[in-house]
Amino acid sequence: MRVVIAGGHGKVARLLQTDLAGRGDTPVGLIRNPDHAPALRATGAQARVCDLEHADVAQVAAHLADADAVVFAAGAGPGSGAARKDTVDRAAAVLLADAAEQAGVRRYLLVSSMGVDDAPPAGTDEVFAAYLRAKKAAEDDLTARDLDWTVLRPGRLTDDPPTGRVTLAPRVDAGAVTRTDVARVLAALLHRPGSVGAVLELVGGNTPIADAVAAVGRP
């Protein structure tokens, strides 16, 4: 499976690329900074320079040629303001979906966030509130399309060692999850047709990842 990953230099993306390469898949990471290419190649991924804040649909679609799936794992990142939450976390995700449609790539995994369905509590930092609004807008755009989409909403991300055990369901209690476990769930979902059309929340838990993902889409 050839998988193109937007935000290819991000922590989750690099872990996903390592996992996919280990499975025998072909990960391709889209990066804004060409200096990041060696880090992607070290994971077993191919690197393609494509700035999703400035590229057009045709330019992005050209990078999706022969892809079997796309994953949106990009984010404006810490230190960015509310404006970039919109241009990256929303607009770039929409652009990738437009490009996927143009390139004929049906499978699309969107990395979102828990908490997007609820209005931010009073006193919430405006930048974080903008992030949640951008993620929800990206979800709303994707789920209205005729694509084979899956939305994954992780809880609070940590760099702790992976446990290999999670709680994965349409609704789960708030909690944390390791970035490595998120990447492993994404890789498993790519190979799970039953997850098409699902919006799933993810935190650490007691169920082995393979079992948690295998249960997705069961009646």
- The overall pTM is greater than 0.75: yes
- When pLDDT is averaged across residues 17-37 and rounded to a whole number, the result is 97
Q: Contacts by 171-174 with C-beta closer than 8 Å and gap 24+?
A: 171/201, 172/114, 172/201, 172/202, 172/203, 172/205, 173/203, 174/114, 174/115, 174/203
% of the chain residues with pLDDT over 90: 87
Residue owning tokens 């249960």 = 215
User: Contact 89/6 with Cβ under 8 angstroms?
Assistant: no
Q: Is the pLDDT of residue 218 over 70?
A: no
Domains of the chain: 2-214 (3.40.50.720)
Residues in the chain: 219
Residue owning tokens 């799936």 = 69
pLDDT digits (tens, 9 = 90+) for 159-190: 999 999 999 999 999 999 999 999 999 999 99
pLDDT digits (tens, 9 = 90+) for 116-159: 998 777 777 888 899 999 999 999 999 999 999 999 999 999 99
> In the structure, what pLDDT confidence band is assigned to residue 19 with cuts at 50, 70 and 90?
very high
